[in-house]
Amino acid sequence: MSEKERLLFQENSERRAVRAVYLENQANTRVDERVLEEMLPYFKEQYGNAQSMHSLGAVSKDAIEKARKEVADLIGSRENEIYFTSCASEANNLAVKGVADAYKQKGKHLVVSAIEHFSVLNAARRLGQNGFDVTYLPVDRYGLISPEEVKNALREDTVLVSIQHANPEIGTIQPLEEISRIVREKKIPLHTDATCTAGIIPVDVNSLGVDLLTLSGSQFYGPKGASALYIKKGIKLTPQIDGGIQENGRRAGTENVPAIVGFGKACVLAKSERDDNKRKMLPLRDRLIAALPEKIEHIYVNGHPDKRLPNNVNISVEFVEGEGMFLLLDQKGIYVSSGSACASKALKMSHVLSAINVDPAVGQGSILITLSKYTTSEDIDYLLAEFPPIVKRLRDMSPLYSYFLKTGQRRPAGPGTDYEHEHEHEQNQEEE
Amino acid sequence: MAFYSEKVMDHFQNPRNVGEIKDADGTGEIGNPVCGDMMSFYIKVKDNVIEDVKFKTFGCGAAIAVSSMVSEMAKGKTLDEAMQITNASVAKELGGLPPNKMHCSNLGADALHKAIEDYKRKHGGTT
Protein backbone atom coordinates (compact mmCIF):
# COMPACT_ATOMS: atom_id res chain seq x y z
CA MET A 1 0.00 0.00 0.00
CA SER A 2 1.44 3.35 -1.01
CA GLU A 3 1.44 6.28 1.42
CA LYS A 4 -1.33 7.92 -0.60
CA GLU A 5 -3.43 4.76 -0.55
CA ARG A 6 -2.82 4.34 3.15
CA LEU A 7 -4.01 7.87 3.86
CA LEU A 8 -7.06 7.37 1.68
CA PHE A 9 -7.86 4.12 3.46
CA GLN A 10 -7.49 5.81 6.82
CA GLU A 11 -9.67 8.69 5.71
CA ASN A 12 -12.34 6.29 4.48
CA SER A 13 -12.25 4.32 7.70
CA GLU A 14 -12.56 7.48 9.75
CA ARG A 15 -15.41 8.70 7.64
CA ARG A 16 -17.18 5.37 8.06
CA ALA A 17 -16.56 5.50 11.77
CA VAL A 18 -18.63 8.70 11.96
CA ARG A 19 -21.79 6.80 11.20
CA ALA A 20 -22.66 3.65 9.29
CA VAL A 21 -26.29 2.99 8.54
CA TYR A 22 -26.62 -0.26 6.65
CA LEU A 23 -29.93 -0.39 4.79
CA GLU A 24 -29.25 -3.01 2.15
CA ASN A 25 -30.41 -6.02 4.10
CA GLN A 26 -31.97 -7.71 1.08
CA ALA A 27 -28.39 -8.15 -0.18
CA ASN A 28 -26.88 -9.38 3.04
CA THR A 29 -27.34 -9.08 6.79
CA ARG A 30 -24.88 -8.66 9.62
CA VAL A 31 -24.07 -11.99 11.24
CA ASP A 32 -25.50 -12.28 14.75
CA GLU A 33 -22.80 -12.61 17.44
CA ARG A 34 -24.43 -15.80 18.74
CA VAL A 35 -24.27 -17.28 15.25
CA LEU A 36 -20.59 -16.43 14.93
CA GLU A 37 -19.80 -17.98 18.34
CA GLU A 38 -21.44 -21.21 17.25
CA MET A 39 -19.40 -21.28 14.04
CA LEU A 40 -15.92 -20.57 15.37
CA PRO A 41 -15.06 -24.04 16.75
CA TYR A 42 -15.69 -25.48 13.29
CA PHE A 43 -12.87 -23.35 11.88
CA LYS A 44 -10.43 -23.91 14.73
CA GLU A 45 -10.83 -27.30 16.37
CA GLN A 46 -13.55 -29.24 14.59
CA TYR A 47 -12.27 -28.93 11.06
CA GLY A 48 -12.81 -32.51 9.91
CA ASN A 49 -14.47 -33.37 6.61
CA ALA A 50 -18.00 -34.48 7.41
CA GLN A 51 -17.59 -37.48 5.11
CA SER A 52 -14.47 -38.77 6.91
CA MET A 53 -14.89 -42.00 8.87
CA HIS A 54 -12.75 -40.94 11.83
CA SER A 55 -14.11 -39.31 14.93
CA LEU A 56 -13.13 -35.76 13.90
CA GLY A 57 -15.21 -36.23 10.75
CA ALA A 58 -18.08 -37.54 12.85
CA VAL A 59 -18.18 -34.29 14.84
CA SER A 60 -18.67 -32.35 11.63
CA LYS A 61 -21.26 -34.83 10.39
CA ASP A 62 -23.22 -34.51 13.64
CA ALA A 63 -23.06 -30.72 13.43
CA ILE A 64 -24.50 -30.78 9.93
CA GLU A 65 -27.33 -33.10 10.95
CA LYS A 66 -28.14 -30.87 13.93
CA ALA A 67 -28.29 -27.85 11.60
CA ARG A 68 -30.48 -29.81 9.19
CA LYS A 69 -33.01 -30.34 11.96
CA GLU A 70 -32.85 -26.65 12.91
CA VAL A 71 -33.54 -25.58 9.33
CA ALA A 72 -36.38 -28.12 9.04
CA ASP A 73 -37.89 -26.82 12.28
CA LEU A 74 -38.01 -23.27 10.94
CA ILE A 75 -40.06 -24.20 7.87
CA GLY A 76 -42.06 -27.15 9.23
CA SER A 77 -40.48 -29.85 7.09
CA ARG A 78 -38.81 -33.16 7.90
CA GLU A 79 -35.02 -33.22 8.32
CA ASN A 80 -34.51 -35.56 5.38
CA GLU A 81 -36.22 -33.05 3.12
CA ILE A 82 -33.53 -30.38 3.64
CA TYR A 83 -30.60 -30.23 1.21
CA PHE A 84 -27.77 -27.81 1.87
CA THR A 85 -26.33 -25.71 -0.95
CA SER A 86 -23.73 -22.93 -1.08
CA CYS A 87 -26.18 -20.13 -1.81
CA ALA A 88 -29.78 -19.41 -2.76
CA SER A 89 -28.86 -19.12 -6.44
CA GLU A 90 -27.56 -22.66 -6.36
CA ALA A 91 -30.72 -23.89 -4.63
CA ASN A 92 -32.90 -22.12 -7.22
CA ASN A 93 -30.87 -23.61 -10.08
CA LEU A 94 -31.11 -27.05 -8.53
CA ALA A 95 -34.86 -26.72 -8.14
CA VAL A 96 -35.61 -25.37 -11.61
CA LYS A 97 -33.13 -27.33 -13.70
CA GLY A 98 -33.19 -30.42 -11.51
CA VAL A 99 -36.97 -30.84 -11.56
CA ALA A 100 -37.27 -29.92 -15.25
CA ASP A 101 -34.74 -32.58 -16.14
CA ALA A 102 -36.23 -35.27 -13.92
CA TYR A 103 -39.72 -34.81 -15.38
CA LYS A 104 -38.79 -34.11 -19.01
CA GLN A 105 -40.36 -37.38 -20.17
CA LYS A 106 -43.70 -36.05 -18.94
CA GLY A 107 -43.39 -32.65 -20.57
CA LYS A 108 -41.23 -29.65 -21.27
CA HIS A 109 -43.20 -26.65 -20.06
CA LEU A 110 -42.37 -24.36 -17.13
CA VAL A 111 -44.23 -21.47 -15.54
CA VAL A 112 -42.33 -18.72 -13.71
CA SER A 113 -43.20 -15.15 -12.82
CA ALA A 114 -41.64 -12.22 -14.64
CA ILE A 115 -40.25 -10.83 -11.37
CA GLU A 116 -38.33 -13.87 -10.15
CA HIS A 117 -34.72 -13.52 -9.05
CA PHE A 118 -32.24 -13.98 -11.89
CA SER A 119 -31.23 -17.38 -10.56
CA VAL A 120 -34.74 -18.59 -11.42
CA LEU A 121 -35.27 -16.46 -14.54
CA ASN A 122 -31.94 -17.26 -16.14
CA ALA A 123 -32.18 -20.95 -15.21
CA ALA A 124 -35.57 -21.00 -16.95
CA ARG A 125 -34.17 -19.09 -19.89
CA ARG A 126 -31.39 -21.63 -20.29
CA LEU A 127 -33.95 -24.44 -20.26
CA GLY A 128 -35.81 -22.44 -22.90
CA GLN A 129 -32.70 -22.59 -25.06
CA ASN A 130 -32.60 -26.34 -24.57
CA GLY A 131 -36.02 -27.29 -25.83
CA PHE A 132 -38.27 -26.25 -22.94
CA ASP A 133 -41.16 -23.86 -23.29
CA VAL A 134 -41.32 -21.19 -20.59
CA THR A 135 -44.33 -19.06 -19.65
CA TYR A 136 -43.42 -15.82 -17.88
CA LEU A 137 -46.39 -14.68 -15.81
CA PRO A 138 -47.05 -10.95 -15.72
CA VAL A 139 -47.74 -9.08 -12.47
CA ASP A 140 -50.05 -6.20 -11.67
CA ARG A 141 -48.82 -2.73 -10.77
CA TYR A 142 -48.20 -3.81 -7.18
CA GLY A 143 -46.20 -6.82 -8.28
CA LEU A 144 -48.93 -9.35 -7.48
CA ILE A 145 -49.33 -12.53 -9.49
CA SER A 146 -52.93 -13.49 -10.15
CA PRO A 147 -53.81 -17.10 -9.19
CA GLU A 148 -56.21 -17.05 -12.13
CA GLU A 149 -53.33 -16.33 -14.51
CA VAL A 150 -51.38 -19.23 -13.00
CA LYS A 151 -54.37 -21.49 -13.61
CA ASN A 152 -54.63 -20.39 -17.23
CA ALA A 153 -50.93 -20.92 -17.83
CA LEU A 154 -50.94 -24.57 -16.73
CA ARG A 155 -50.83 -27.19 -19.49
CA GLU A 156 -50.78 -30.96 -19.84
CA ASP A 157 -47.01 -30.82 -20.30
CA THR A 158 -46.25 -28.40 -17.43
CA VAL A 159 -43.63 -29.98 -15.16
CA LEU A 160 -42.76 -27.10 -12.82
CA VAL A 161 -44.18 -23.85 -11.50
CA SER A 162 -41.78 -21.50 -9.72
CA ILE A 163 -43.24 -18.47 -7.95
CA GLN A 164 -41.32 -16.48 -5.36
CA HIS A 165 -42.84 -16.08 -1.91
CA ALA A 166 -42.01 -12.37 -1.90
CA ASN A 167 -40.04 -10.05 -4.10
CA PRO A 168 -36.73 -8.84 -2.65
CA GLU A 169 -36.84 -5.55 -4.54
CA ILE A 170 -40.38 -4.25 -4.07
CA GLY A 171 -41.30 -6.46 -1.11
CA THR A 172 -44.61 -7.71 -2.48
CA ILE A 173 -45.77 -10.94 -0.82
CA GLN A 174 -47.54 -13.34 -3.22
CA PRO A 175 -50.81 -15.19 -2.51
CA LEU A 176 -48.86 -18.45 -2.50
CA GLU A 177 -51.45 -20.54 -0.61
CA GLU A 178 -54.02 -19.75 -3.27
CA ILE A 179 -51.57 -20.46 -6.07
CA SER A 180 -50.46 -23.74 -4.53
CA ARG A 181 -54.05 -25.01 -4.29
CA ILE A 182 -54.41 -24.53 -8.03
CA VAL A 183 -51.05 -26.07 -8.92
CA ARG A 184 -51.53 -28.99 -6.53
CA GLU A 185 -54.83 -29.92 -8.10
CA LYS A 186 -52.92 -30.58 -11.33
CA LYS A 187 -50.22 -32.52 -9.46
CA ILE A 188 -47.49 -30.27 -10.82
CA PRO A 189 -44.43 -29.61 -8.61
CA LEU A 190 -44.42 -26.07 -7.17
CA HIS A 191 -41.17 -24.38 -6.18
CA THR A 192 -40.98 -21.14 -4.24
CA ASP A 193 -37.99 -18.92 -3.71
CA ALA A 194 -38.45 -17.89 -0.08
CA THR A 195 -35.04 -16.25 0.19
CA CYS A 196 -36.38 -12.93 1.40
CA THR A 197 -39.17 -14.30 3.60
CA ALA A 198 -37.77 -17.29 5.52
CA GLY A 199 -36.51 -16.10 8.89
CA ILE A 200 -38.26 -12.73 8.41
CA ILE A 201 -41.94 -13.72 8.30
CA PRO A 202 -43.55 -17.13 9.02
CA VAL A 203 -42.76 -19.67 6.32
CA ASP A 204 -44.26 -23.13 6.62
CA VAL A 205 -44.01 -25.58 3.73
CA ASN A 206 -47.25 -27.31 4.72
CA SER A 207 -49.46 -24.26 4.98
CA LEU A 208 -47.88 -22.76 1.87
CA GLY A 209 -48.42 -26.07 0.08
CA VAL A 210 -45.13 -26.07 -1.83
CA ASP A 211 -43.01 -29.01 -3.01
CA LEU A 212 -39.70 -27.19 -3.15
CA LEU A 213 -38.55 -24.11 -1.25
CA THR A 214 -35.32 -22.10 -1.27
CA LEU A 215 -34.09 -20.36 1.87
CA SER A 216 -30.85 -18.63 2.77
CA GLY A 217 -29.30 -17.98 6.18
CA SER A 218 -27.44 -14.85 5.13
CA GLN A 219 -30.79 -13.08 4.79
CA PHE A 220 -31.50 -13.43 8.49
CA TYR A 221 -28.24 -12.92 10.38
CA GLY A 222 -26.54 -16.14 9.31
CA PRO A 223 -23.30 -16.30 7.32
CA LYS A 224 -22.82 -16.32 3.57
CA GLY A 225 -22.02 -19.74 2.16
CA ALA A 226 -24.96 -21.82 3.35
CA SER A 227 -28.49 -22.04 1.97
CA ALA A 228 -30.93 -24.87 1.54
CA LEU A 229 -33.46 -26.36 -0.78
CA TYR A 230 -36.44 -28.11 0.76
CA ILE A 231 -37.45 -31.00 -1.48
CA LYS A 232 -40.66 -32.72 -0.47
CA LYS A 233 -40.38 -36.47 -0.16
CA GLY A 234 -41.39 -38.08 -3.46
CA ILE A 235 -40.32 -35.19 -5.70
CA LYS A 236 -37.80 -36.31 -8.30
CA LEU A 237 -34.83 -34.14 -9.12
CA THR A 238 -31.62 -34.52 -11.14
CA PRO A 239 -28.47 -33.36 -9.30
CA GLN A 240 -26.74 -30.36 -10.85
CA ILE A 241 -23.35 -31.02 -9.24
CA ASP A 242 -22.10 -34.55 -9.79
CA GLY A 243 -19.52 -36.02 -7.47
CA GLY A 244 -19.66 -37.76 -4.12
CA ILE A 245 -22.47 -38.90 -1.90
CA GLN A 246 -23.01 -35.70 0.07
CA GLU A 247 -26.58 -34.52 0.64
CA ASN A 248 -27.95 -37.95 -0.16
CA GLY A 249 -26.38 -37.85 -3.61
CA ARG A 250 -28.39 -34.80 -4.64
CA ARG A 251 -25.68 -32.21 -4.14
CA ALA A 252 -22.05 -33.32 -4.23
CA GLY A 253 -19.19 -31.33 -2.75
CA THR A 254 -17.52 -30.98 0.62
CA GLU A 255 -19.94 -29.43 3.08
CA ASN A 256 -19.20 -25.92 4.34
CA VAL A 257 -19.53 -27.02 7.95
CA PRO A 258 -19.04 -23.67 9.76
CA ALA A 259 -21.51 -21.91 7.46
CA ILE A 260 -24.07 -24.71 7.79
CA VAL A 261 -23.70 -24.61 11.58
CA GLY A 262 -24.22 -20.84 11.50
CA PHE A 263 -27.23 -21.23 9.21
CA GLY A 264 -28.76 -23.70 11.68
CA LYS A 265 -28.21 -21.34 14.60
CA ALA A 266 -29.72 -18.46 12.61
CA CYS A 267 -32.82 -20.62 12.08
CA VAL A 268 -33.12 -21.32 15.81
CA LEU A 269 -32.85 -17.60 16.58
CA ALA A 270 -35.27 -16.68 13.81
CA LYS A 271 -37.87 -19.08 15.12
CA SER A 272 -37.89 -17.50 18.58
CA GLU A 273 -37.12 -13.87 17.65
CA ARG A 274 -38.69 -13.41 14.21
CA ASP A 275 -41.93 -11.94 15.50
CA ASP A 276 -40.14 -9.52 17.85
CA ASN A 277 -37.86 -8.44 15.00
CA LYS A 278 -40.88 -7.83 12.82
CA ARG A 279 -42.53 -5.74 15.54
CA LYS A 280 -39.37 -3.62 15.68
CA MET A 281 -38.95 -3.15 11.92
CA LEU A 282 -42.57 -2.56 10.92
CA PRO A 283 -43.02 0.89 12.55
CA LEU A 284 -39.68 2.03 11.13
CA ARG A 285 -40.69 0.89 7.66
CA ASP A 286 -44.06 2.59 7.95
CA ARG A 287 -42.48 5.75 9.23
CA LEU A 288 -40.19 5.91 6.20
CA ILE A 289 -43.05 5.24 3.81
CA ALA A 290 -45.08 8.03 5.43
CA ALA A 291 -42.31 10.56 6.01
CA LEU A 292 -40.39 10.40 2.74
CA PRO A 293 -43.28 11.71 0.57
CA GLU A 294 -43.88 14.42 3.19
CA LYS A 295 -40.29 15.60 3.01
CA ILE A 296 -39.69 15.15 -0.72
CA GLU A 297 -42.09 16.12 -3.49
CA HIS A 298 -42.70 13.91 -6.51
CA ILE A 299 -41.75 10.56 -5.05
CA TYR A 300 -43.60 7.29 -5.42
CA VAL A 301 -43.60 4.14 -3.34
CA ASN A 302 -43.21 0.96 -5.39
CA GLY A 303 -44.81 -2.32 -4.33
CA HIS A 304 -47.94 -3.22 -2.41
CA PRO A 305 -49.26 -1.04 0.44
CA ASP A 306 -50.06 -3.97 2.79
CA LYS A 307 -48.86 -7.23 1.26
CA ARG A 308 -45.32 -6.14 1.86
CA LEU A 309 -42.21 -7.42 3.63
CA PRO A 310 -41.81 -5.75 7.04
CA ASN A 311 -38.34 -4.52 6.11
CA ASN A 312 -38.85 -3.23 2.56
CA VAL A 313 -39.12 0.34 1.28
CA ASN A 314 -38.76 0.98 -2.45
CA ILE A 315 -39.23 4.49 -3.76
CA SER A 316 -38.85 6.26 -7.07
CA VAL A 317 -37.66 9.85 -6.92
CA GLU A 318 -38.66 11.77 -10.00
CA PHE A 319 -36.22 13.98 -11.96
CA VAL A 320 -33.07 12.46 -10.49
CA GLU A 321 -31.09 9.36 -11.17
CA GLY A 322 -30.61 6.61 -8.59
CA GLU A 323 -26.86 6.22 -8.72
CA GLY A 324 -26.26 9.87 -7.89
CA MET A 325 -28.46 9.48 -4.81
CA PHE A 326 -26.80 6.36 -3.56
CA LEU A 327 -23.29 7.73 -4.09
CA LEU A 328 -24.14 10.81 -2.04
CA LEU A 329 -25.86 8.70 0.62
CA ASP A 330 -22.75 6.52 0.68
CA GLN A 331 -20.70 9.64 1.47
CA LYS A 332 -22.89 10.08 4.53
CA GLY A 333 -22.36 6.48 5.59
CA ILE A 334 -25.85 5.38 4.48
CA TYR A 335 -25.74 2.19 2.44
CA VAL A 336 -28.71 1.51 0.16
CA SER A 337 -29.16 0.16 -3.35
CA SER A 338 -30.73 1.49 -6.51
CA GLY A 339 -32.87 -0.17 -9.14
CA SER A 340 -31.89 2.41 -11.73
CA ALA A 341 -30.34 1.67 -15.07
CA CYS A 342 -27.17 3.60 -14.38
CA ALA A 343 -26.52 1.89 -11.10
CA SER A 344 -26.91 -1.63 -12.42
CA LYS A 345 -23.81 -3.03 -13.98
CA ALA A 346 -25.88 -4.02 -17.02
CA LEU A 347 -27.05 -0.40 -17.47
CA LYS A 348 -30.63 -1.50 -17.71
CA MET A 349 -33.62 -0.67 -15.57
CA SER A 350 -34.64 -3.34 -13.09
CA HIS A 351 -36.80 -6.05 -14.63
CA VAL A 352 -39.02 -5.87 -11.56
CA LEU A 353 -39.74 -2.16 -11.92
CA SER A 354 -40.42 -2.54 -15.62
CA ALA A 355 -42.74 -5.51 -14.92
CA ILE A 356 -44.86 -3.32 -12.62
CA ASN A 357 -44.92 -0.66 -15.36
CA VAL A 358 -42.85 2.00 -13.65
CA ASP A 359 -42.21 4.79 -16.16
CA PRO A 360 -38.55 4.41 -17.20
CA ALA A 361 -37.97 8.13 -16.57
CA VAL A 362 -39.18 7.72 -12.98
CA GLY A 363 -37.71 4.26 -12.44
CA GLN A 364 -34.24 5.66 -12.98
CA GLY A 365 -34.55 7.43 -9.65
CA SER A 366 -35.28 4.32 -7.64
CA ILE A 367 -33.85 3.64 -4.23
CA LEU A 368 -34.25 0.42 -2.28
CA ILE A 369 -34.04 0.62 1.50
CA THR A 370 -34.21 -2.60 3.51
CA LEU A 371 -34.16 -2.72 7.29
CA SER A 372 -32.84 -5.31 9.71
CA LYS A 373 -33.30 -6.07 13.40
CA TYR A 374 -30.29 -3.82 13.98
CA THR A 375 -31.91 -0.77 12.39
CA THR A 376 -32.72 1.86 14.98
CA SER A 377 -35.06 4.79 15.13
CA GLU A 378 -31.95 7.05 15.10
CA ASP A 379 -30.86 5.46 11.82
CA ILE A 380 -34.20 6.43 10.30
CA ASP A 381 -33.91 9.97 11.72
CA TYR A 382 -30.48 10.25 10.15
CA LEU A 383 -31.71 9.05 6.76
CA LEU A 384 -34.70 11.38 6.87
CA ALA A 385 -32.40 14.30 7.67
CA GLU A 386 -29.73 13.55 5.08
CA PHE A 387 -31.83 12.35 2.16
CA PRO A 388 -33.93 15.42 1.24
CA PRO A 389 -30.92 17.77 0.76
CA ILE A 390 -29.30 15.14 -1.48
CA VAL A 391 -32.40 14.99 -3.67
CA LYS A 392 -32.54 18.79 -3.78
CA ARG A 393 -28.90 19.02 -4.75
CA LEU A 394 -29.34 16.59 -7.65
CA ARG A 395 -32.62 18.16 -8.75
CA ASP A 396 -30.94 21.56 -8.85
CA MET A 397 -28.64 20.24 -11.54
CA SER A 398 -31.27 18.21 -13.40
CA PRO A 399 -32.46 19.61 -16.75
CA LEU A 400 -35.62 17.51 -16.39
CA TYR A 401 -36.47 19.24 -13.13
CA SER A 402 -35.84 22.77 -14.43
CA TYR A 403 -38.01 21.95 -17.45
CA PHE A 404 -40.77 20.79 -15.10
CA LEU A 405 -40.48 23.92 -12.94
CA LYS A 406 -40.66 26.19 -16.00
CA THR A 407 -43.42 24.45 -17.92
CA GLY A 408 -45.21 22.17 -15.48
CA GLN A 409 -44.65 19.45 -18.07
CA ARG A 410 -42.71 16.23 -17.76
CA ARG A 411 -40.40 15.18 -20.52
CA PRO A 412 -38.96 11.74 -21.05
CA ALA A 413 -35.43 11.24 -19.80
CA GLY A 414 -34.36 9.64 -23.03
CA PRO A 415 -35.83 8.14 -26.16
CA GLY A 416 -36.18 4.77 -24.50
CA THR A 417 -34.92 2.34 -21.95
CA ASP A 418 -33.50 -1.04 -22.57
CA TYR A 419 -35.03 -3.93 -20.65
CA GLU A 420 -33.20 -6.69 -18.95
CA HIS A 421 -35.94 -9.14 -19.66
CA GLU A 422 -35.78 -10.37 -23.24
CA HIS A 423 -39.43 -11.33 -23.15
CA GLU A 424 -40.53 -7.84 -22.24
CA HIS A 425 -37.98 -6.37 -24.57
CA GLU A 426 -39.63 -8.18 -27.46
CA GLN A 427 -43.04 -6.98 -26.37
CA ASN A 428 -41.70 -3.47 -26.25
CA GLN A 429 -40.41 -3.65 -29.76
CA GLU A 430 -43.76 -4.92 -30.93
CA GLU A 431 -45.46 -1.94 -29.35
CA GLU A 432 -43.06 0.36 -31.11
CA MET B 1 -11.02 -0.27 -4.87
CA ALA B 2 -13.80 2.23 -5.31
CA PHE B 3 -15.95 2.12 -8.40
CA TYR B 4 -14.94 5.64 -9.52
CA SER B 5 -11.55 7.37 -9.50
CA GLU B 6 -10.90 10.10 -6.95
CA LYS B 7 -11.09 12.73 -9.66
CA VAL B 8 -14.47 11.49 -10.88
CA MET B 9 -15.78 11.56 -7.33
CA ASP B 10 -14.43 15.08 -6.86
CA HIS B 11 -16.20 16.37 -9.97
CA PHE B 12 -19.36 14.47 -9.04
CA GLN B 13 -19.45 15.85 -5.51
CA ASN B 14 -18.26 19.36 -6.36
CA PRO B 15 -19.40 19.88 -9.92
CA ARG B 16 -18.08 23.05 -11.56
CA ASN B 17 -20.26 25.40 -13.62
CA VAL B 18 -23.66 23.92 -12.80
CA GLY B 19 -26.57 26.01 -13.98
CA GLU B 20 -28.11 27.70 -17.00
CA ILE B 21 -27.24 30.87 -18.89
CA LYS B 22 -30.38 32.88 -19.55
CA ASP B 23 -29.07 34.74 -22.60
CA ALA B 24 -26.80 31.97 -23.87
CA ASP B 25 -25.20 32.41 -27.29
CA GLY B 26 -25.48 28.71 -27.94
CA THR B 27 -27.22 25.73 -26.31
CA GLY B 28 -26.77 22.01 -26.90
CA GLU B 29 -28.54 19.02 -25.50
CA ILE B 30 -27.86 15.34 -25.78
CA GLY B 31 -29.72 12.29 -24.47
CA ASN B 32 -28.58 8.73 -24.22
CA PRO B 33 -31.01 6.27 -25.79
CA VAL B 34 -30.06 3.35 -23.57
CA CYS B 35 -29.95 4.60 -20.01
CA GLY B 36 -31.77 7.90 -20.50
CA ASP B 37 -29.05 10.32 -19.37
CA MET B 38 -29.53 13.91 -20.46
CA MET B 39 -27.04 16.78 -20.62
CA SER B 40 -27.76 20.42 -21.48
CA PHE B 41 -24.91 22.85 -22.19
CA TYR B 42 -25.07 26.65 -22.39
CA ILE B 43 -22.22 28.83 -23.72
CA LYS B 44 -21.41 32.53 -23.84
CA VAL B 45 -19.01 33.45 -26.65
CA LYS B 46 -16.92 36.60 -27.04
CA ASP B 47 -14.31 37.17 -29.75
CA ASN B 48 -14.51 33.52 -30.77
CA VAL B 49 -13.65 32.43 -27.22
CA ILE B 50 -15.93 30.52 -24.83
CA GLU B 51 -16.23 33.06 -22.08
CA ASP B 52 -18.66 31.17 -19.92
CA VAL B 53 -20.15 27.70 -19.88
CA LYS B 54 -22.83 26.14 -17.72
CA PHE B 55 -24.54 22.76 -17.72
CA LYS B 56 -27.37 20.76 -16.26
CA THR B 57 -27.27 16.98 -16.23
CA PHE B 58 -29.64 14.17 -15.39
CA GLY B 59 -27.64 11.01 -14.97
CA CYS B 60 -25.33 8.92 -12.88
CA GLY B 61 -22.19 9.99 -11.04
CA ALA B 62 -20.09 9.57 -14.16
CA ALA B 63 -22.46 11.67 -16.29
CA ILE B 64 -22.29 14.53 -13.81
CA ALA B 65 -18.49 14.30 -13.46
CA VAL B 66 -18.08 14.23 -17.26
CA SER B 67 -20.25 17.33 -17.67
CA SER B 68 -18.32 19.17 -15.00
CA MET B 69 -14.98 18.24 -16.56
CA VAL B 70 -16.10 19.30 -20.05
CA SER B 71 -17.22 22.67 -18.74
CA GLU B 72 -13.85 23.20 -17.09
CA MET B 73 -11.94 22.13 -20.20
CA ALA B 74 -13.99 24.35 -22.51
CA LYS B 75 -13.87 27.58 -20.53
CA GLY B 76 -11.45 30.11 -22.08
CA LYS B 77 -10.87 28.04 -25.20
CA THR B 78 -11.48 29.25 -28.75
CA LEU B 79 -14.37 27.58 -30.54
CA ASP B 80 -11.96 25.60 -32.71
CA GLU B 81 -10.01 24.42 -29.68
CA ALA B 82 -13.22 23.45 -27.91
CA MET B 83 -14.28 21.41 -30.92
CA GLN B 84 -11.10 19.36 -30.42
CA ILE B 85 -12.29 18.17 -26.99
CA THR B 86 -13.43 14.58 -27.42
CA ASN B 87 -15.30 12.17 -25.17
CA ALA B 88 -12.07 10.18 -24.97
CA SER B 89 -9.97 13.17 -23.90
CA VAL B 90 -12.55 14.00 -21.20
CA ALA B 91 -12.40 10.45 -19.83
CA LYS B 92 -8.60 10.64 -19.86
CA GLU B 93 -8.65 13.96 -18.01
CA LEU B 94 -10.90 12.35 -15.35
CA GLY B 95 -8.35 9.61 -14.77
CA GLY B 96 -10.46 7.03 -16.55
CA LEU B 97 -14.03 5.79 -16.28
CA PRO B 98 -15.32 2.27 -15.56
CA PRO B 99 -15.63 0.38 -18.88
CA ASN B 100 -19.44 0.17 -18.75
CA LYS B 101 -19.64 3.95 -18.29
CA MET B 102 -17.41 4.85 -21.23
CA HIS B 103 -20.23 5.02 -23.76
CA CYS B 104 -23.36 5.66 -21.75
CA SER B 105 -22.30 8.59 -19.62
CA ASN B 106 -19.45 10.01 -21.62
CA LEU B 107 -21.41 12.37 -23.86
CA GLY B 108 -20.36 15.73 -22.47
CA ALA B 109 -18.11 16.65 -25.40
CA ASP B 110 -20.93 15.85 -27.83
CA ALA B 111 -23.29 18.16 -25.93
CA LEU B 112 -20.69 20.94 -25.91
CA HIS B 113 -20.13 20.56 -29.67
CA LYS B 114 -23.88 20.86 -30.20
CA ALA B 115 -23.88 24.12 -28.27
CA ILE B 116 -21.00 25.42 -30.42
CA GLU B 117 -22.80 24.37 -33.60
CA ASP B 118 -25.92 26.12 -32.35
CA TYR B 119 -23.89 29.28 -31.79
CA LYS B 120 -22.38 29.07 -35.28
CA ARG B 121 -25.81 28.54 -36.83
CA LYS B 122 -27.16 31.61 -35.09
CA HIS B 123 -24.14 33.71 -35.91
CA GLY B 124 -23.53 32.53 -39.46
CA GLY B 125 -20.30 30.82 -38.56
CA THR B 126 -18.43 34.12 -38.13
CA THR B 127 -17.88 36.43 -35.25
**H or E stretch including A10?**
helix A3-18
* CB-CB neighbors (< 8 A) of B100 in chain A: 345, 347
What is the percent of chain B with per-residue pLDDT over 70, rounded to a whole number?
Answer: 92
- pLDDT per position as a tens digit, A57-111: 999 999 999 999 999 999 999 999 999 999 999 999 999 999 999 999 999 999 9
pLDDT exceeding 90 applies to what percent of chain A? 81
Same domain flag for A254 and A323: no
- Measure the CA–CA gap between B28 and A36, rounded to whole angstroms: 57
Q: Same domain, yes or no, for A317 and A203?
A: no
CATH number for the domain including A132?
3.40.640.10
pLDDT digits (tens, 9 = 90+) for B40-59: 999 999 999 999 999 999 98
Residues A216, A265, single domain; the answer is: yes
Contacts A358 to B, Cβ<8 Å: none
Are A163 and A221 members of one domain?
Answer: yes
Residue B119 has pLDDT above 70, yes or no: yes
A410: containing domain? 274-425
- How much is the pLDDT for A350? 85
Average pLDDT, chain A: 91
Predicted confidence band of residue A430 (pLDDT cuts 50, 70, 90): very low
Q: Does residue A406 or residue B104 have the better pLDDT?
A: A406
Q: Are residues A52 and A119 in the same domain?
A: yes
How far, in Å, are A131, A134, A354, A396 from residue A425 at the CA level?
21, 16, 10, 33
Q: Are residues A328 and A410 in the same domain?
A: yes
Note the pLDDT tens digit of each residue in A265-275.
999 999 999 99
Q: Report pLDDT digits (tens) over A348-382.
A: 678 899 899 988 778 888 999 999 999 999 999 99
Q: Is the pLDDT of residue A242 over 50?
A: yes
Using the 3D structure, point to which of A244, A270, A296 is the last residue of a domain. Answer: A270
pLDDT value at B100 more than 90? no
What class does CATH assign to B6-122? alpha beta
pLDDT at A6 over 70: no
Cβ pair A364:B35 closer than 8 A: yes
**Residue of chain A whose Cα is closest to the Cα of B6:** A8
Q: What is the mean pLDDT of chain B?
A: 89
A146 & A286 share domain:
no
Pair (A230, A329) in one structural domain? no
Element (H, E) at A113: strand A109-113
Confidence of residue A426 (pLDDT cuts 50, 70, 90): very low
CATH of the domain at A392: 3.90.1150.10
Complex ipTM value: 0.91
E-only strand ranges, A139-226: 158-162, 190-193, 212-216
Rounded distance, CA A168 to CA A337, Å? Answer: 12
Radius of gyration (C-alpha) of chain B in whole angstroms: 14
| pLDDT score at B32 | 72
* Chain B interface with A: residues with Cβ < 8 Å: 4, 6, 9, 12-13, 15, 18, 20, 29, 31-40, 55-64, 100, 104-105
| Neighboring chain B residues of A340 at a CB cutoff of 8 Å | 60
CB contact under 8 A, B6 and A402: no
Q: What is the mean predicted confidence (pLDDT) over A384-401? A: 96
Query: What mean pLDDT do residues A155-178 have?
Result: 97
d(CA B93, CA B66): 9
Instruction: Tell me whether residue A22 is in a domain.
Output: no
pLDDT digits 0-9 by tens, A325-345: 989 999 999 999 886 656 665
Residues A296 and A258 in one domain: no
Does A75 fall in a domain? yes
Q: Residue B19 — very low, low, confident or very high, per pLDDT cuts 50/70/90? A: very high
Mean pLDDT of B80-104: 87
Domain co-membership, A218 together with A113: yes
Inter-chain touch A343–B60, beta carbons under 8 Å: yes
> Considering its fold, how many domains does chain A have in total?
2
Instruction: Sketch the domain layout of chain B as residue ranges.
Output: 6-122
Cα–Cα distance for residue pair A135/A110, rounded to 1 Å:
6
Residues A261 and A294 in one domain: no
Q: Is A140 in the same domain as A284?
A: no
More confident residue, A36 or B96: A36
Q: Is residue A26 part of a domain?
A: no
Residue A155: its pLDDT value, please?
Answer: 98
A342 is catalytic: yes
